């Protein structure tokens, strides 16, 4: 039987799959569903300092081959997720990831301090890439602000953590972002990629945008972003040093795309749009499909093929 176990930032996951932050993880009932599922871990909805309702609906729509969303960070406020993390049972096999997405550096500092003070075994994924708050550019596309944020947050967090990145589309940007991240020993993983920001989906018949916020503009996810995700996973896998890992996310609908993410260099794989559409049963199905692919190809563990994509 193929071994799908992995470890991220020194913490073991029984298998490489978990939810992409934002999907099935805003409330405790959804997090309980993830715990019951065949996922290897779980991550909470990106938290802001205060609770938020998010943008007006409709704010998510499935598309042919993917999805569009402009949720606007609806979440229960970081204290809700801190309380959840405090009562989480760390003796069971799935580790807990917590996503933080402060609207300012000050908010990120306060939230990171609160988690550090609580001395918990959860792993922080700081989100540098929320594209859906009107009037707020994302940190991931501002190299100076990103370095300043890491300089401020790393000493507060004071243990290994990760950052969620937007997709990049230029080799010079891969180089610049990787060079910044490589300055921070404590950044032990990057999660690539957040949604491809600011697409516009229009209904042909009604000639109307599919979602309401931001004149219809929203982040794209699902199969339509697979190759962008694979490129970002591989670009960072090639550039990051000091044992830093990449978590792949984007376009995973079956075991096949998960296999490609690992081949590109992913050490774990998150599932967003497909989880939203199929529900947590997606984990059991995709896990089984990946096991079958590995058996057919003669791979026994993820290490056998991670990062081993061939080039011409
Ligand atoms: C939201 C979307 C994102 O892509 C993200 O990283 C965080 C939040 C949102 O719209 O809620």
Q: How far is the CA of 305 from the centre of ligand 1 (A)?
A: 31
Count each helix (H run) and each strand (E run) in the chain, helices first.
Answer: 9, 16
Spacing, Cα 200 to ligand 1 middle (Å): 16
Nearest-atom index, ligand 1, CA of 127: 6
Mean pLDDT of 61-82: 98
Sign of the Cα pseudo-torsion (162, 286, 303, 36, in order): positive
State yes or no: pLDDT of 134 exceeds 90.
no
Separation between Cα atoms, residue 297 and residue 284, nearest integer Å:
20
Residue 253: per-residue pLDDT: 99
CA–CA separation, 274 and 283 (whole Å):
10
pLDDT at position 133 over 90: no
Q: Using 50, 70 and 90 to split pLDDT, how confident is the model at 135? A: confident
Length of the chain, in residues: 312
Average pLDDT, integer, range 62-67: 98
Cβ of residue 130 lying under 6 Å from some atom of ligand 1: yes
Whether 130 is a known active-site residue: answer yes
pLDDT at residue 237 tops 80: yes
If we measure between CA atoms, which residue out of 28, 29, 46 comes closest to residue 83? 28
Mutate to test the pocket of ligand 1, among 21, 22, 75, 164 (most ligand atoms within 8 A of CB): 22
Element (H, E) at 85: helix 78-87
Q: What is the Cα–Cα distance from 44 to 40, expressed in whole angstroms?
A: 14
Nearest-CA residue for ligand 1 atom 4 is 130
CA–CA separation, 5 and 198 (whole Å): 35
- What is the pLDDT confidence band of residue 130, given thresholds at 50, 70 and 90? confident
- For the Cβ of 250 lying below 6 angstroms from any atom of ligand 1, the answer is no
Residue with CA at minimum distance from ligand 1 atom 3:
130
pLDDT at 185: 98
d(CA 223, CA 140): 22
Average pLDDT over residues 50-75: 98
Span 262-286, mean pLDDT? 99
Residues ≥6 apart with Cβ < 8 Å to 180: 143, 146, 147, 150
For ligand 1, the distance from its centroid to the CA atom of residue 303, given in whole angstroms, is: 31
Atom 5 (ligand 1) nearest CA: 130
Stretch 158-186: mean pLDDT = 98
What band does 162 get if pLDDT is binned at 50, 70 and 90? very high
Cα–Cα distance list, 219 to 58, 145, 172, 196, 222 (Å): 14, 22, 23, 5, 10
Which mutation among 48, 68, 130 tests ligand 1's pocket best, with the greatest number of atoms within 8 A of CB? 130
Confidence class for position 146, pLDDT limits 50, 70, 90: very high
Domain limits, the chain: 6-54+73-197+223-304
CA of 266 to the centre of ligand 1 (A): 22
CB-based burial label for 28 (10 Å; 0-12, 13-18, 19+): middle
Cβ(17)–Cβ(271) under 8 Å?
Answer: yes
CA 291, 297, 299, 303 torsion-angle sign: negative
Distance 101 CA to ligand 1 centre (A): 9
Does residue 67's CB lie within 6 angstroms of at least one atom of ligand 1? no
Ligand 1 atom 11: residue of nearest CA: 73
CATH number of this structure's domain 6-54+73-197+223-304, picked from the four choices 3.40.30.10, 3.20.20.70, 3.30.70.3270, 3.30.390.30: 3.20.20.70
Q: What percent of the chain has pLDDT over 90?
A: 97
Helix%, strand%, coil% for the chain, nearest 5: 40, 20, 40
As a whole number, the mean pLDDT across the chain is 98
Binding site membership of 72 for ligand 1 (Cβ less than 6 Å): yes
pLDDT tens string 282-312: 999 999 999 999 999 999 999 999 999 999 9
103 C-alpha to ligand 1 centroid (Å): 12
What pTM, to 2 d.p., does this model score?
A: 0.99
Task: Tell me, using a 6 A CB cutoff, whether residue 195 lines ligand 1.
Answer: yes
Of 114-123, 131-140, 155-164, 197-206, the one with minimum mean pLDDT is 131-140
Residue tagged 């774990």 (tokens):
268
Return the pLDDT at 131: 80
Q: Which atom of ligand 1 is nearest to the CA of 54?
A: 11
pLDDT at 17 over 80: yes
> What integer is the mean pLDDT of 199-226?
98
Q: What values do phi and psi take at 66, rounded to 5?
A: 160, -145
Q: Tell whether the model's pLDDT for residue 150 goes beyond 90.
A: yes
Instruction: Tell whether ligand 1 has an atom less than 6 A from the beta carbon of residue 219.
Output: yes
Angle at 228 between CA 172 and CA 68, to 5 degrees: 125
Angle at 96 between CA 259 and CA 131, to 5 degrees: 70
Instruction: Determine the average pLDDT of the residues in 48-52.
Output: 98
């Amino acid at each position: 039987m193929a071994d799908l176990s992995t470890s991220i930032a020194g913490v073991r996951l029984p298998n490489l799959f978990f939810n992409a932050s934002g999907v099935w993880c805003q409330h405790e009932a959804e997090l309980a569903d993830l715990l019951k599922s065949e996922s290897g871990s779980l991550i909470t909805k990106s938290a802001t300092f205060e609770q938020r309702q998010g943008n007006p609906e409709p704010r998510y729509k499935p598309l042919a081959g993917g999805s569009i969303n402009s949720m606007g960070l609806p979440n229960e406020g970081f204290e809700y997720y801190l309380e959840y993390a405090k009562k989480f049972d760390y003796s069971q096999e799935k580790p807990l990831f917590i996503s933080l997405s402060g609207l300012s550096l000050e908010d990120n500092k306060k939230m990171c301090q609160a988690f550090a003070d609580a001395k918990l075994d959860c792993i922080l994924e700081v989100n540098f890439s929320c594209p859906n708050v009107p009037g707020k550019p994302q940190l991931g596309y501002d190299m100076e602000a990103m370095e300043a944020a890491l300089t401020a947050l790393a000493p507060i967090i004071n243990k290994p953590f990760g950052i969620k990145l937007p997709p990049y589309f230029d080799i010079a940007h891969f180089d610049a972002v990787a060079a910044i991240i490589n300055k921070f020993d404590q950044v032990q993983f990057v999660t690539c990629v957040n949604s491809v920001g600011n697409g516009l989906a229009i209904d042909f018949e009604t000639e109307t945008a599919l979602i309401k916020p931001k004149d219809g503009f929203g982040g794209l996810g699902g199969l339509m972003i697979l190759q962008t995700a694979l490129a970002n996973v591989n670009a960072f896998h090639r550039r990051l040093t000091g044992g830093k890992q990449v978590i792949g996310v984007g376009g995973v609908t079956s075991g096949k795309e998960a296999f490609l993410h690992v081949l590109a260099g992913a050490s774990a794989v998150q599932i967003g749009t497909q989880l939203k559409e199929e529900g947590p049963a997606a984990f059991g199905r995709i896990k089984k499909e990946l096991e079958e692919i590995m058996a057919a190809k003669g791979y026994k563990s993820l290490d056998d093929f991670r990062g081993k994509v061939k080039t011409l």
